[in-house]
Structure 1
């Protein structure tokens, strides 16, 4: 781990500008096969003080190999996310006029779910770049050629030499994971053709603040993006941020369009910058208030959990996303509160949650305990409705830990 001292987007000194501190945690996806001591790293957020920037970033940057070499998140385990990627691919193909001769590279391609959608829509020249070997092997088994590596200039140059320029480079929920954004952006420029486009999706800080989505703050996410700093960053890198769309994934994200040449800029860009400034997203006071809202919500949830236990309910969780780790540590919850966590992804089943060491089990566990009084907190809250609908015959309670929305299961 190393501590950032300057802004990743503009280089302004940030070391003395911490605006929010959450409890230190293990790496959010560091699930273990048995309980053991795990290193904890600080979760402090720095706000760039430059009036022309205002980028928010994590102070502690954990080694990428620590975070991603044995990654246990797979995009294809969520049907709704597969559908999102299908719509995404169709939109990009139509916008850019891609066809069977076009070439698409996906950075942080995971199990190849996004590239599979391009192939299914007729764009068959695709290539992934993914550092987690196990996940990359899944992509390869699905017919998606993948380079096992972290993106850097050498990898970019090799891909350019082997396959020629890319018409489209994508990076979905990845541009927030990269410590050296200048190097990564230079690598993207190397891969793109003269009319190529870079499209990436990231969680949108405006939605994080408005929706109190604090649990999306963890060590993989070293950057918390808004549009204003990105416009100036890409301009400095010789590229044009020409459009941005808000999309609903992960509680609220933005899809950003960047060209390697000059483009007409959509009015949506200026509109979002104006709304960010109106929401005071570049003010330290906003994050002081955000911290107070987190503490208030934690108190409410702990009181709710205590009340459920007093009423004779036993507690479990549904979903073991990375954000579970931040929520557990921020709200002082652990294995004394939850007996098990149900998880749809087979990659996490049979393991224990990072630091809190709660066993992760498959959905069949719900049937085993159906005769008992269980309340399931849905830690994968972005899939709350889908999860509840998918287990309509369960007799327990459902609870959203961020909103405290509660639903009675069938027969409860």
Structure 2
């Protein structure tokens, strides 16, 4: 399989998208392509296409990198984030109440990672669960936690197999996964065949409106082949013979939506039409919006480099905190490298001892902060969605904290 292919049609409606690139970010290696030593890494384009169909307007990557290259050696685990564990606990409780799930129910999670979400269902008495996860190492963690997991990508054959073995699913979930799938029609068809007649598909995904409004450009990377708004999704699921009947906005990842899709006709929440209207008013389906978005990115990057230069002039050195996938896009877009950031502290043991994709900055454990305590260091918090939690957890550190996305800065006790 080739490492990358060019997309020429809209993933949701099939309209031709070649020639409709509205934003180009610098080419980068795979965002989770952490390596055990500095080495040459292939870079792939980050160009965004906007579907020109008046009733659609879906935003997607023009270059689709092979899923095997992206996910076979995945190094992100949901369970390492306490806030995400709490989020998934609330998520499971809401789903159980909505659908009346019990010990006889069957729940399937697509892209189940280390089983954190499914474990929440099990702990609440919904023991009929099954995960689908392509990264073998992460799937083994889920299995060790008592979550049955199939190591694969979802397709129609796997959906039929699971249904034959366990019966139809009452609930299929996919969290921060529906943006990762190249063939969304094939995935939706597989979900539909896996669900029972009254089954529901619930997925969470980063919300395009929040990405644009909050300048969350670093969430654009090769794992995210799609950038979802409600309007294109409504029409897509209608064509798939399903009903998008509700949408909730949730705060995860800087702003996401939780989408509810039924396998049958049912009443549609007014929230769906309200969000579609707000998307159209925000011009999310206009090429000009993304031209302006690109200008805002360039301006923000220039301001950050100016702040870094000024602090370096005053004797400050820089490290980072958090090594999420979005770090890669931010580093390349803002022209930062190992000359700017000496090391990056990471809470997840899966990434410690590795080097960041392309820029090859060493990733270390939190104990490194204690080693440099008292020195003039400023920490750029690349995991900006956990900024407050990270800063609060290291209240005794003497350095500076800075959010590289918003440029917000919190001076520690070293600055009087």
Q: TM-score range by the shorter chain?
A: over 0.9
Distance 1:211 1:32 in 2: 30
Matched with 2:407 is 404
Distance 2:375 2:414 in 1: 12
- 1:318-397 equivalences under 5 Å are 318-397=321-400
Give unpaired runs (5+ residues) of structure 1. none
Query: Counterparts of 1:403 and 1:307 in 2: how far apart (Å)?
Result: 17
Deviations 1:307-358 (A, max 9, x none): 1111111100000000000000001000000110000000000000000000
Quote the Cα distance in structure 2 between the aligned partners of 1:311 and 1:114: 46
Q: Distance in 2 between matches of 1:89 and 1:78?
A: 17
2:119 maps to 116
Question: In the TM superposition, what whole-angstrom CA distance separates every residue of 1:31-68 from its partner, at most 9, and x where no partner exists?
Answer: 00000000000000000000000000000000000000
2:229 aligned to 226, 229, 233, which one? 226
What's 1:135 paired with?
Answer: 138
Q: CA offset at residue 290 of structure 1?
A: 0.2
2:62 aligned residue (47, 59, 62): 59
1:10 and 1:339 mapped to 2: Cα distance? 45
TM-score (norm 2): 0.99
Partners of 2:222 and 2:14 in 1: how far apart? 21
Structure 2 CA distance, aligned partners of 1:312 and 1:127? 53
Gaps of 5+ in 2: none
In structure 2, how many angstroms separate the alpha carbons of the residues matched to 1:308 and 1:152? Answer: 51
Which position in structure 2 is the counterpart of 1:273?
276
Q: CA deviation at 1:411?
A: 4.6
Which residue number in structure 2 is paired with residue 9 of structure 1?
A: 12
Contact kept? 1:392, 1:410, Cα under 8 Å:
no
1:198-237 matched pairs, under 5 angstroms: 198-237=201-240
Aligned residues: 412
Shift of 1:371: 2.1
Deviation at 1:409, TM superposition (A): 2.2
What does the per-residue CA deviation read over 1:89-130, in whole Å, with 9 as the maximum and x for residues that have no partner? 000000111111111000000000000111111111100000
Which runs of structure 1 show a deviation greater than 3 angstroms over 4 or more consecutive aligned residues? none
C-alpha root-mean-square deviation of aligned residues, in Å?
A: 0.5
* Equivalent position SS for 1:327: helix
Q: Return the match for 2:304 from 301, 325, 329.
A: 301
Question: How far apart are the structure 1 equivalents of 2:308 and 2:157?
Answer: 51
